[in-house]
Amino acid sequence: MSTQQVLFDAPGPKARIRHAVYTALTVVAFLCVLAVVYLGFNRTLGEGAPSPLSADAWRINPDGQWAAARWQPFLDPATWTDYVLPGLQNTLTAALTASCLALLFGLVFGIARLSDHAWIRIPAGAVVEFFRGIPLLMLIFFTMALPLAVNQLLPAFGLPPLTPGTFQVSALAAVVTGLTLYNGSVLAEVFRAGINAVPKGQAEAAYSLGMNKSKVMRLILIPQAVSSMMPAIVAQLVILLKDSALGYIVAFPELLRSFSLIGTRYGNVIPAAIICAAIYIAINISLSRLAIWLERRNARSGAQRGAAPPTAALTAPGNPGAPGSPA
Amino acid sequence: MEAFFDNIDRVIDGFSWTVRLTLFSALFSFLLGVLLTAMRVSPVALLRGVSTVYVETVRNSPLTLVLLFCGLGLNSALGLSLSGTVAWDVFWWAVIGLSAYTSCFVSESLRSGINTIPLGQAEAARALGLTFTQSLRLIIIPQALRTVIGPLGSVLIALIKNTTVASVAGLGVQEASRQMKLMFDQGIAPVLPTFVGFAIGFLVLTLPVGYLFGWLSKRMAVAR
Protein backbone atom coordinates (compact mmCIF):
# COMPACT_ATOMS: atom_id res chain seq x y z
CA MET A 1 0.00 0.00 0.00
CA SER A 2 1.36 3.36 -0.87
CA THR A 3 0.09 5.27 2.13
CA GLN A 4 1.45 8.55 0.93
CA GLN A 5 -1.45 9.30 -1.39
CA VAL A 6 -4.21 7.74 0.68
CA LEU A 7 -3.67 8.81 4.27
CA PHE A 8 -4.45 12.40 3.43
CA ASP A 9 -6.23 14.33 0.70
CA ALA A 10 -4.69 16.92 -1.52
CA PRO A 11 -4.44 19.74 1.03
CA GLY A 12 -6.98 22.52 0.88
CA PRO A 13 -6.20 26.13 1.86
CA LYS A 14 -6.53 25.47 5.62
CA ALA A 15 -4.44 22.31 5.51
CA ARG A 16 -1.81 24.07 3.43
CA ILE A 17 -1.48 26.75 6.10
CA ARG A 18 -1.28 24.05 8.79
CA HIS A 19 1.39 22.18 6.85
CA ALA A 20 3.32 25.41 6.42
CA VAL A 21 3.15 25.90 10.20
CA TYR A 22 4.37 22.33 10.79
CA THR A 23 7.17 22.85 8.31
CA ALA A 24 8.17 26.06 10.06
CA LEU A 25 8.09 24.33 13.47
CA THR A 26 10.21 21.48 12.11
CA VAL A 27 12.70 23.94 10.69
CA VAL A 28 12.89 25.76 14.05
CA ALA A 29 13.32 22.52 16.01
CA PHE A 30 15.90 21.28 13.54
CA LEU A 31 17.82 24.56 13.68
CA CYS A 32 17.79 24.44 17.50
CA VAL A 33 19.27 20.94 17.47
CA LEU A 34 21.86 22.03 14.90
CA ALA A 35 22.68 25.09 17.00
CA VAL A 36 23.22 23.03 20.17
CA VAL A 37 25.41 20.58 18.27
CA TYR A 38 27.36 23.38 16.57
CA LEU A 39 27.89 25.35 19.77
CA GLY A 40 28.63 22.22 21.78
CA PHE A 41 31.38 21.02 19.49
CA ASN A 42 32.55 24.61 19.09
CA ARG A 43 33.04 24.56 22.89
CA THR A 44 31.00 27.72 23.24
CA LEU A 45 28.05 26.22 25.09
CA GLY A 46 27.31 26.07 28.79
CA GLU A 47 28.79 27.90 31.75
CA GLY A 48 31.61 30.35 31.21
CA ALA A 49 30.88 30.54 27.49
CA PRO A 50 29.60 33.67 25.74
CA SER A 51 25.84 33.92 25.40
CA PRO A 52 24.46 32.05 22.37
CA LEU A 53 22.89 35.34 21.29
CA SER A 54 26.25 37.04 20.91
CA ALA A 55 28.34 36.78 17.78
CA ASP A 56 31.28 35.53 19.85
CA ALA A 57 29.61 32.21 20.50
CA TRP A 58 29.13 31.60 16.79
CA ARG A 59 32.62 32.51 15.67
CA ILE A 60 34.61 29.32 15.00
CA ASN A 61 36.56 28.63 18.16
CA PRO A 62 40.18 27.58 17.48
CA ASP A 63 39.88 25.13 20.43
CA GLY A 64 36.60 23.71 19.12
CA GLN A 65 36.02 20.82 16.77
CA TRP A 66 35.09 23.00 13.79
CA ALA A 67 38.42 24.83 13.61
CA ALA A 68 40.17 24.44 10.26
CA ALA A 69 43.18 22.91 12.03
CA ARG A 70 41.00 19.96 13.10
CA TRP A 71 40.06 19.21 9.50
CA GLN A 72 43.53 19.88 8.12
CA PRO A 73 44.79 16.30 8.73
CA PHE A 74 42.23 14.99 6.22
CA LEU A 75 43.77 17.12 3.47
CA ASP A 76 47.13 15.50 4.13
CA PRO A 77 47.61 12.43 1.90
CA ALA A 78 49.67 10.80 4.65
CA THR A 79 46.58 10.56 6.87
CA TRP A 80 44.84 8.56 4.21
CA THR A 81 47.77 6.33 3.29
CA ASP A 82 48.92 5.76 6.90
CA TYR A 83 45.57 5.37 8.65
CA VAL A 84 42.45 5.26 6.53
CA LEU A 85 43.43 3.00 3.64
CA PRO A 86 45.10 0.30 5.77
CA GLY A 87 42.07 0.41 8.06
CA LEU A 88 39.69 0.14 5.12
CA GLN A 89 41.75 -2.71 3.75
CA ASN A 90 41.56 -4.58 7.06
CA THR A 91 37.82 -4.00 7.32
CA LEU A 92 37.26 -5.25 3.78
CA THR A 93 39.58 -8.22 4.29
CA ALA A 94 37.75 -9.26 7.44
CA ALA A 95 34.32 -8.65 5.88
CA LEU A 96 35.09 -10.44 2.60
CA THR A 97 36.70 -13.47 4.27
CA ALA A 98 33.88 -13.70 6.78
CA SER A 99 31.26 -13.27 4.00
CA CYS A 100 32.62 -16.21 2.00
CA LEU A 101 32.96 -18.41 5.08
CA ALA A 102 29.53 -17.38 6.40
CA LEU A 103 27.85 -18.17 3.06
CA LEU A 104 29.48 -21.60 3.12
CA PHE A 105 28.55 -22.15 6.77
CA GLY A 106 25.01 -20.99 6.09
CA LEU A 107 24.56 -23.22 3.07
CA VAL A 108 25.89 -26.30 4.88
CA PHE A 109 23.86 -25.77 8.05
CA GLY A 110 20.76 -24.57 6.22
CA ILE A 111 20.70 -27.81 4.23
CA ALA A 112 21.66 -29.87 7.28
CA ARG A 113 18.62 -28.51 9.13
CA LEU A 114 16.42 -29.80 6.30
CA SER A 115 18.01 -33.24 6.39
CA ASP A 116 15.81 -36.33 6.64
CA HIS A 117 18.15 -37.75 9.28
CA ALA A 118 17.42 -36.57 12.81
CA TRP A 119 21.04 -37.09 13.85
CA ILE A 120 22.10 -34.40 11.35
CA ARG A 121 19.06 -32.15 11.63
CA ILE A 122 18.98 -31.76 15.42
CA PRO A 123 22.67 -30.97 16.08
CA ALA A 124 22.68 -28.56 13.12
CA GLY A 125 19.60 -26.85 14.55
CA ALA A 126 21.22 -26.63 17.98
CA VAL A 127 24.40 -25.09 16.53
CA VAL A 128 22.46 -22.53 14.50
CA GLU A 129 20.19 -21.55 17.40
CA PHE A 130 23.15 -21.29 19.78
CA PHE A 131 25.22 -18.99 17.60
CA ARG A 132 22.18 -16.93 16.65
CA GLY A 133 21.16 -16.50 20.26
CA ILE A 134 24.38 -15.20 21.78
CA PRO A 135 26.00 -11.83 21.09
CA LEU A 136 28.67 -11.64 18.43
CA LEU A 137 30.98 -9.79 20.80
CA MET A 138 30.99 -12.75 23.21
CA LEU A 139 32.02 -15.05 20.37
CA ILE A 140 34.88 -12.70 19.52
CA PHE A 141 36.00 -12.49 23.16
CA PHE A 142 35.85 -16.27 23.48
CA THR A 143 37.85 -16.84 20.30
CA MET A 144 40.49 -14.44 21.60
CA ALA A 145 40.63 -16.39 24.87
CA LEU A 146 40.80 -19.76 23.13
CA PRO A 147 44.55 -20.36 23.77
CA LEU A 148 43.92 -19.68 27.46
CA ALA A 149 41.00 -22.10 27.46
CA VAL A 150 43.10 -24.81 25.79
CA ASN A 151 45.87 -24.33 28.34
CA GLN A 152 43.38 -24.65 31.17
CA LEU A 153 41.83 -27.79 29.71
CA LEU A 154 45.01 -29.68 28.77
CA PRO A 155 46.00 -30.66 32.35
CA ALA A 156 42.58 -32.25 32.82
CA PHE A 157 43.51 -34.72 30.08
CA GLY A 158 46.98 -35.28 31.61
CA LEU A 159 48.71 -33.35 28.84
CA PRO A 160 51.47 -30.77 29.37
CA PRO A 161 50.51 -27.14 28.75
CA LEU A 162 51.34 -25.59 25.39
CA THR A 163 54.67 -23.87 24.99
CA PRO A 164 53.93 -20.14 24.90
CA GLY A 165 53.56 -18.76 21.39
CA THR A 166 52.66 -21.98 19.60
CA PHE A 167 48.93 -21.26 19.58
CA GLN A 168 47.81 -17.67 19.26
CA VAL A 169 44.65 -16.12 17.95
CA SER A 170 45.07 -12.84 16.11
CA ALA A 171 42.40 -10.17 16.37
CA LEU A 172 41.64 -10.70 12.67
CA ALA A 173 41.07 -14.42 13.20
CA ALA A 174 38.83 -13.73 16.19
CA VAL A 175 36.75 -11.17 14.27
CA VAL A 176 36.44 -13.41 11.21
CA THR A 177 35.50 -16.43 13.35
CA GLY A 178 32.86 -14.48 15.23
CA LEU A 179 31.40 -12.90 12.10
CA THR A 180 31.35 -16.27 10.32
CA LEU A 181 29.62 -18.19 13.09
CA TYR A 182 27.01 -15.53 13.81
CA ASN A 183 26.18 -14.43 10.27
CA GLY A 184 26.55 -17.99 9.00
CA SER A 185 23.83 -19.07 11.43
CA VAL A 186 21.55 -16.26 10.32
CA LEU A 187 22.23 -17.13 6.66
CA ALA A 188 21.47 -20.78 7.44
CA GLU A 189 17.98 -19.70 8.47
CA VAL A 190 17.70 -17.55 5.33
CA PHE A 191 18.68 -20.48 3.09
CA ARG A 192 16.33 -22.81 4.96
CA ALA A 193 13.44 -20.37 4.57
CA GLY A 194 14.31 -19.91 0.90
CA ILE A 195 14.40 -23.63 0.21
CA ASN A 196 11.12 -24.10 2.07
CA ALA A 197 9.56 -21.30 0.03
CA VAL A 198 10.24 -23.01 -3.32
CA PRO A 199 6.86 -24.36 -4.48
CA LYS A 200 6.41 -28.01 -3.54
CA GLY A 201 5.70 -28.99 -7.12
CA GLN A 202 9.29 -28.16 -8.08
CA ALA A 203 10.77 -30.87 -5.87
CA GLU A 204 7.97 -33.30 -6.75
CA ALA A 205 8.53 -32.78 -10.45
CA ALA A 206 12.26 -33.29 -10.02
CA TYR A 207 11.75 -36.51 -8.07
CA SER A 208 9.33 -37.77 -10.69
CA LEU A 209 12.01 -37.10 -13.32
CA GLY A 210 14.12 -39.59 -11.39
CA MET A 211 16.54 -37.22 -9.67
CA ASN A 212 17.92 -38.25 -6.30
CA LYS A 213 17.85 -36.11 -3.16
CA SER A 214 21.20 -34.40 -3.68
CA LYS A 215 20.42 -33.64 -7.32
CA VAL A 216 17.04 -32.15 -6.43
CA MET A 217 18.74 -29.98 -3.81
CA ARG A 218 21.66 -28.97 -6.03
CA LEU A 219 19.91 -28.46 -9.37
CA ILE A 220 16.37 -27.45 -8.43
CA LEU A 221 15.98 -26.12 -4.90
CA ILE A 222 19.20 -24.23 -4.12
CA PRO A 223 19.32 -22.17 -7.36
CA GLN A 224 15.72 -21.01 -6.88
CA ALA A 225 16.16 -20.42 -3.16
CA VAL A 226 19.33 -18.38 -3.67
CA SER A 227 17.78 -16.18 -6.34
CA SER A 228 14.64 -15.51 -4.30
CA MET A 229 16.65 -14.92 -1.12
CA MET A 230 19.28 -12.72 -2.75
CA PRO A 231 18.00 -9.46 -1.18
CA ALA A 232 17.99 -11.04 2.30
CA ILE A 233 21.48 -12.42 1.72
CA VAL A 234 22.85 -9.03 0.65
CA ALA A 235 21.11 -7.36 3.60
CA GLN A 236 22.83 -9.82 5.92
CA LEU A 237 26.18 -9.07 4.28
CA VAL A 238 25.59 -5.37 4.97
CA ILE A 239 25.07 -6.30 8.63
CA LEU A 240 28.26 -8.35 8.52
CA LEU A 241 30.22 -5.40 7.17
CA LYS A 242 28.81 -3.13 9.86
CA ASP A 243 29.51 -5.70 12.57
CA SER A 244 33.14 -5.92 11.49
CA ALA A 245 33.46 -2.59 13.35
CA LEU A 246 33.20 -4.66 16.56
CA GLY A 247 36.83 -5.47 15.85
CA TYR A 248 37.47 -2.04 17.32
CA ILE A 249 36.76 -3.42 20.79
CA VAL A 250 39.40 -6.16 20.48
CA ALA A 251 41.94 -3.69 19.01
CA PHE A 252 41.72 -5.06 15.47
CA PRO A 253 43.16 -2.21 13.33
CA GLU A 254 40.08 -1.76 11.13
CA LEU A 255 38.49 1.39 9.74
CA LEU A 256 36.90 2.62 12.96
CA ARG A 257 40.14 2.02 14.89
CA SER A 258 42.06 4.06 12.30
CA PHE A 259 39.69 6.98 12.72
CA SER A 260 39.84 6.69 16.48
CA LEU A 261 43.64 6.86 16.24
CA ILE A 262 43.37 9.94 14.02
CA GLY A 263 40.92 11.41 16.54
CA THR A 264 43.28 10.98 19.47
CA ARG A 265 46.36 12.04 17.54
CA TYR A 266 44.97 15.31 16.18
CA GLY A 267 42.30 15.89 18.83
CA ASN A 268 39.60 15.93 16.15
CA VAL A 269 37.18 13.28 17.37
CA ILE A 270 34.13 14.82 15.73
CA PRO A 271 35.54 15.42 12.21
CA ALA A 272 37.00 11.90 12.34
CA ALA A 273 33.66 10.42 13.40
CA ILE A 274 31.82 12.30 10.63
CA ILE A 275 34.20 11.16 7.88
CA CYS A 276 34.27 7.61 9.24
CA ALA A 277 30.46 7.45 9.29
CA ALA A 278 30.37 8.84 5.74
CA ILE A 279 32.63 6.03 4.49
CA TYR A 280 30.59 3.29 6.20
CA ILE A 281 27.32 4.82 5.01
CA ALA A 282 28.57 5.10 1.42
CA ILE A 283 29.63 1.44 1.35
CA ASN A 284 26.47 0.19 3.04
CA ILE A 285 24.05 2.27 0.99
CA SER A 286 25.63 1.08 -2.24
CA LEU A 287 25.32 -2.52 -1.00
CA SER A 288 21.67 -1.90 -0.02
CA ARG A 289 21.00 -0.39 -3.46
CA LEU A 290 22.44 -3.59 -4.91
CA ALA A 291 19.96 -5.58 -2.81
CA ILE A 292 17.04 -3.44 -4.00
CA TRP A 293 18.17 -3.75 -7.61
CA LEU A 294 18.43 -7.54 -7.25
CA GLU A 295 14.96 -7.64 -5.71
CA ARG A 296 13.48 -5.63 -8.59
CA ARG A 297 15.25 -7.72 -11.20
CA ASN A 298 14.05 -10.83 -9.45
CA ALA A 299 10.45 -9.64 -9.32
CA ARG A 300 10.59 -8.69 -13.00
CA SER A 301 12.01 -12.00 -14.20
CA GLY A 302 9.59 -13.84 -11.90
CA ALA A 303 6.65 -12.02 -13.46
CA GLN A 304 7.91 -12.85 -16.92
CA ARG A 305 8.45 -16.48 -16.00
CA GLY A 306 5.18 -16.91 -14.19
CA ALA A 307 2.09 -15.11 -15.46
CA ALA A 308 1.70 -13.45 -18.85
CA PRO A 309 -0.15 -15.92 -21.04
CA PRO A 310 0.78 -15.75 -24.74
CA THR A 311 -2.31 -13.72 -25.61
CA ALA A 312 -1.36 -11.10 -23.04
CA ALA A 313 2.08 -10.90 -24.61
CA LEU A 314 0.44 -10.23 -27.97
CA THR A 315 -1.85 -7.49 -26.71
CA ALA A 316 0.77 -5.86 -24.52
CA PRO A 317 2.12 -3.08 -26.74
CA GLY A 318 5.35 -2.48 -24.82
CA ASN A 319 7.42 -5.60 -25.07
CA PRO A 320 6.74 -7.97 -27.92
CA GLY A 321 8.83 -11.07 -27.50
CA ALA A 322 10.36 -9.96 -24.20
CA PRO A 323 13.11 -12.34 -23.09
CA GLY A 324 11.70 -15.10 -20.95
CA SER A 325 8.12 -14.64 -22.09
CA PRO A 326 6.51 -17.99 -22.90
CA ALA A 327 6.85 -18.73 -26.61
CA MET B 1 32.23 -24.70 36.91
CA GLU B 2 32.72 -24.07 40.66
CA ALA B 3 34.91 -21.05 40.08
CA PHE B 4 32.16 -19.68 37.85
CA PHE B 5 29.52 -20.12 40.55
CA ASP B 6 31.85 -18.58 43.14
CA ASN B 7 31.63 -15.41 41.06
CA ILE B 8 27.92 -15.65 40.44
CA ASP B 9 27.30 -12.23 41.97
CA ARG B 10 29.49 -10.65 39.27
CA VAL B 11 27.57 -12.56 36.61
CA ILE B 12 24.27 -11.42 38.03
CA ASP B 13 25.53 -7.85 38.27
CA GLY B 14 26.59 -8.01 34.59
CA PHE B 15 23.24 -9.32 33.45
CA SER B 16 21.39 -6.79 35.58
CA TRP B 17 23.07 -4.02 33.55
CA THR B 18 22.25 -5.90 30.33
CA VAL B 19 18.58 -6.12 31.29
CA ARG B 20 18.43 -2.49 32.38
CA LEU B 21 20.06 -1.37 29.12
CA THR B 22 17.59 -3.50 27.16
CA LEU B 23 14.48 -2.29 28.98
CA PHE B 24 15.24 1.43 28.79
CA SER B 25 16.55 1.27 25.21
CA ALA B 26 13.56 -0.80 24.11
CA LEU B 27 11.15 1.74 25.57
CA PHE B 28 12.85 4.79 24.09
CA SER B 29 13.59 3.20 20.72
CA PHE B 30 9.96 2.10 20.41
CA LEU B 31 8.69 5.61 21.12
CA LEU B 32 11.22 7.20 18.80
CA GLY B 33 10.55 4.52 16.16
CA VAL B 34 6.81 5.23 16.17
CA LEU B 35 7.51 8.96 15.91
CA LEU B 36 9.92 8.41 13.01
CA THR B 37 7.35 6.25 11.22
CA ALA B 38 4.60 8.82 11.68
CA MET B 39 6.97 11.45 10.28
CA ARG B 40 7.86 9.15 7.40
CA VAL B 41 4.24 8.92 6.20
CA SER B 42 3.16 12.45 7.15
CA PRO B 43 1.81 15.03 4.69
CA VAL B 44 4.64 17.46 5.52
CA ALA B 45 7.45 16.90 3.05
CA LEU B 46 10.12 18.25 5.39
CA LEU B 47 9.18 15.83 8.18
CA ARG B 48 9.37 12.95 5.72
CA GLY B 49 12.78 14.11 4.56
CA VAL B 50 14.19 14.50 8.08
CA SER B 51 12.95 11.05 9.08
CA THR B 52 14.32 9.40 5.92
CA VAL B 53 17.73 11.01 6.26
CA TYR B 54 17.96 10.12 9.95
CA VAL B 55 16.96 6.48 9.43
CA GLU B 56 19.25 5.98 6.44
CA THR B 57 22.22 7.62 8.17
CA VAL B 58 22.04 5.88 11.52
CA ARG B 59 20.92 2.51 10.14
CA ASN B 60 23.97 2.34 7.89
CA SER B 61 26.50 3.33 10.55
CA PRO B 62 28.02 0.60 12.70
CA LEU B 63 26.61 0.50 16.23
CA THR B 64 30.16 0.64 17.56
CA LEU B 65 30.56 4.01 15.86
CA VAL B 66 27.23 5.30 17.19
CA LEU B 67 28.10 4.31 20.76
CA LEU B 68 31.66 5.58 20.42
CA PHE B 69 30.21 8.88 19.22
CA CYS B 70 27.98 9.00 22.30
CA GLY B 71 30.84 8.04 24.60
CA LEU B 72 33.73 10.05 23.22
CA GLY B 73 31.94 12.66 21.14
CA LEU B 74 28.91 13.75 23.12
CA ASN B 75 29.93 12.67 26.60
CA SER B 76 33.52 13.92 26.53
CA ALA B 77 33.51 16.63 23.85
CA LEU B 78 30.18 18.19 24.76
CA GLY B 79 30.88 17.58 28.41
CA LEU B 80 27.23 16.79 29.09
CA SER B 81 26.66 14.75 32.20
CA LEU B 82 23.43 12.85 32.70
CA SER B 83 23.92 11.50 36.17
CA GLY B 84 26.06 12.05 39.25
CA THR B 85 27.77 8.66 39.30
CA VAL B 86 30.00 7.56 36.44
CA ALA B 87 28.33 4.14 36.15
CA TRP B 88 24.90 5.69 35.59
CA ASP B 89 26.24 8.49 33.42
CA VAL B 90 27.74 6.06 30.91
CA PHE B 91 24.63 3.91 31.26
CA TRP B 92 22.36 6.72 30.10
CA TRP B 93 24.70 7.58 27.23
CA ALA B 94 24.63 3.94 26.18
CA VAL B 95 20.81 3.99 26.37
CA ILE B 96 20.75 7.08 24.14
CA GLY B 97 23.08 5.47 21.59
CA LEU B 98 21.25 2.15 21.57
CA SER B 99 17.86 3.88 21.30
CA ALA B 100 19.04 6.13 18.47
CA TYR B 101 20.29 3.06 16.60
CA THR B 102 17.45 0.65 17.35
CA SER B 103 14.68 3.17 16.62
CA CYS B 104 15.71 3.09 12.95
CA PHE B 105 15.05 -0.64 12.82
CA VAL B 106 11.76 -0.21 14.71
CA SER B 107 10.77 2.45 12.19
CA GLU B 108 11.70 0.28 9.20
CA SER B 109 9.68 -2.65 10.61
CA LEU B 110 6.67 -0.43 11.29
CA ARG B 111 6.87 1.08 7.82
CA SER B 112 6.92 -2.37 6.25
CA GLY B 113 3.95 -3.23 8.48
CA ILE B 114 2.06 -0.19 7.21
CA ASN B 115 2.83 -1.31 3.68
CA THR B 116 1.11 -4.66 4.29
CA ILE B 117 -2.20 -3.04 5.26
CA PRO B 118 -4.67 -3.25 2.38
CA LEU B 119 -5.25 0.02 0.60
CA GLY B 120 -9.00 -0.22 1.30
CA GLN B 121 -8.42 0.27 5.04
CA ALA B 122 -6.88 3.69 4.56
CA GLU B 123 -9.39 4.56 1.84
CA ALA B 124 -12.27 3.61 4.11
CA ALA B 125 -10.78 5.66 6.93
CA ARG B 126 -10.52 8.67 4.63
CA ALA B 127 -14.03 8.07 3.29
CA LEU B 128 -15.35 8.17 6.87
CA GLY B 129 -13.76 11.58 7.17
CA LEU B 130 -10.99 10.68 9.59
CA THR B 131 -8.08 13.08 9.60
CA PHE B 132 -4.49 11.98 9.01
CA THR B 133 -3.78 11.64 12.74
CA GLN B 134 -7.06 9.85 13.39
CA SER B 135 -6.68 7.35 10.58
CA LEU B 136 -3.09 6.69 11.64
CA ARG B 137 -4.01 6.32 15.33
CA LEU B 138 -7.26 4.38 14.99
CA ILE B 139 -6.87 2.38 11.78
CA ILE B 140 -3.34 2.10 10.47
CA ILE B 141 -1.03 1.91 13.52
CA PRO B 142 -3.08 -0.69 15.48
CA GLN B 143 -3.12 -3.02 12.47
CA ALA B 144 0.48 -2.28 11.55
CA LEU B 145 1.61 -3.02 15.13
CA ARG B 146 -0.13 -6.39 15.02
CA THR B 147 1.50 -7.42 11.76
CA VAL B 148 4.97 -6.31 12.88
CA ILE B 149 4.99 -8.12 16.23
CA GLY B 150 7.24 -10.78 14.74
CA PRO B 151 9.79 -8.35 13.22
CA LEU B 152 9.71 -6.23 16.40
CA GLY B 153 10.59 -9.37 18.37
CA SER B 154 13.64 -9.83 16.15
CA VAL B 155 14.57 -6.18 16.73
CA LEU B 156 14.27 -6.70 20.49
CA ILE B 157 16.45 -9.81 20.38
CA ALA B 158 19.02 -7.90 18.34
CA LEU B 159 18.85 -5.12 20.94
CA ILE B 160 19.50 -7.56 23.80
CA LYS B 161 22.58 -8.80 21.97
CA ASN B 162 23.62 -5.30 20.94
CA THR B 163 23.78 -4.14 24.57
CA THR B 164 27.15 -5.92 24.69
CA VAL B 165 28.57 -3.18 22.45
CA ALA B 166 27.98 -0.72 25.32
CA SER B 167 31.22 -2.06 26.80
CA VAL B 168 33.04 -0.02 24.12
CA ALA B 169 35.77 2.41 25.16
CA GLY B 170 34.44 5.75 26.33
CA LEU B 171 31.36 4.11 27.78
CA GLY B 172 32.44 0.86 29.40
CA VAL B 173 29.11 -0.14 30.93
CA GLN B 174 29.81 -3.15 33.17
CA GLU B 175 27.35 -5.36 31.30
CA ALA B 176 27.55 -9.11 30.91
CA SER B 177 30.05 -9.44 28.05
CA ARG B 178 32.43 -7.02 29.76
CA GLN B 179 32.16 -8.98 33.00
CA MET B 180 32.95 -12.13 31.01
CA LYS B 181 36.01 -10.48 29.42
CA LEU B 182 37.19 -9.26 32.82
CA MET B 183 36.77 -12.74 34.30
CA PHE B 184 38.81 -14.16 31.40
CA ASP B 185 41.54 -11.57 31.77
CA GLN B 186 41.80 -11.70 35.54
CA GLY B 187 41.96 -15.49 35.36
CA ILE B 188 39.56 -15.87 38.27
CA ALA B 189 37.49 -18.51 36.48
CA PRO B 190 38.36 -20.98 33.70
CA VAL B 191 37.49 -19.71 30.23
CA LEU B 192 35.26 -22.46 28.89
CA PRO B 193 32.79 -22.76 31.81
CA THR B 194 32.63 -18.97 32.06
CA PHE B 195 31.79 -18.66 28.36
CA VAL B 196 29.19 -21.41 28.56
CA GLY B 197 27.66 -19.82 31.66
CA PHE B 198 27.35 -16.39 30.06
CA ALA B 199 26.11 -17.91 26.78
CA ILE B 200 23.36 -19.70 28.70
CA GLY B 201 22.55 -16.42 30.40
CA PHE B 202 22.03 -14.73 27.03
CA LEU B 203 20.05 -17.68 25.66
CA VAL B 204 17.80 -17.43 28.73
CA LEU B 205 17.17 -13.81 27.76
CA THR B 206 16.81 -14.20 23.99
CA LEU B 207 15.03 -17.54 23.45
CA PRO B 208 11.90 -16.81 25.56
CA VAL B 209 11.60 -13.39 23.87
CA GLY B 210 11.69 -15.17 20.50
CA TYR B 211 9.03 -17.67 21.53
CA LEU B 212 6.87 -15.04 23.22
CA PHE B 213 6.85 -12.80 20.15
CA GLY B 214 6.29 -15.76 17.82
CA TRP B 215 3.28 -16.79 19.90
CA LEU B 216 2.00 -13.22 20.15
CA SER B 217 2.31 -12.60 16.42
CA LYS B 218 0.27 -15.75 15.71
CA ARG B 219 -2.31 -14.85 18.33
CA MET B 220 -2.67 -11.22 17.32
CA ALA B 221 -2.51 -11.80 13.56
CA VAL B 222 -5.13 -9.78 11.70
CA ALA B 223 -7.54 -12.21 10.05
CA ARG B 224 -7.88 -11.39 6.37
Closest CA relative to residue A262, chosen from A253, A275, A276, A272: A272
The domains located in chain A, with CATH, are 70-301 (1.10.3720.10)
Q: Measured between CA atoms, how close is A110 to chain B, in angstroms?
A: 19
A123: amino acid identity, one letter? P
As separate numbers, helices (DSSP H) first and strands (DSSP E) second, chain A gives 16, 0
B21: closest CA of chain A, how far (Å) = 14
Residue B191 scores a pLDDT above 90: no
Count other C-beta atoms under 10 Å from residue B3's C-beta: 13
User: CATH homologous superfamily for B19-174?
Assistant: MetI-like (1.10.3720.10)
Using CB atoms, pick whichever of A8, A130, A238 lies closest to residue B132: A8
The Cα B7–Cα B183 span in angstroms is 9
What residues have CB less than 8 Å from A144, skipping those under 6 apart? Answer: A169, A171, A174, A250
Contact B43 A8 (CB under 8 A): yes
Do residues A181 and A101 lie in contact, with contact meaning Cβ atoms separated by under 8 Å? no
Between A170 and A168, name the one with better pLDDT: A170
pLDDT tens profile A270-318:
888 899 999 999 999 998 888 888 878 877 765 555 443 333 333 333 3
ipTM associated with this complex: 0.88
Count of other CB atoms within 10 angstroms of residue B59 = 20
- Interval A15-31: pLDDT, tens: 889 889 989 998 999 89
pLDDT digits (tens, 9 = 90+) for A118-140: 999 999 999 999 998 899 999 99
- Candidates A30, A249, A269; nearest CB to B73: A269
Sequence ranges of the domains in chain B: 19-174
Are A50 and A44 in contact by the 8 Å Cβ rule? The answer is: yes
Helix %, strand %, coil % for chain A, to 5? 75, 0, 25
CB of B77 within 8 Å of a chain A CB? The answer is yes
CB contact under 8 A, A285 and B43: no
Contacts of A167 in chain B (CB under 8 A): none
Residues 126-155 in B contacting A (C-alpha not used; CB under 8 Å): 126, 132, 135-136, 140
User: Count of A–B CB contacts within 8 Å?
Assistant: 170
CA gap B104, B100 in Å, rounded: 7
On whether any CB of chain A is under 8 Å from the CB of B199, the answer is yes
Q: What is the pLDDT of residue A206?
A: 94
- Distance of alpha carbon A77 from the chain centroid: 29
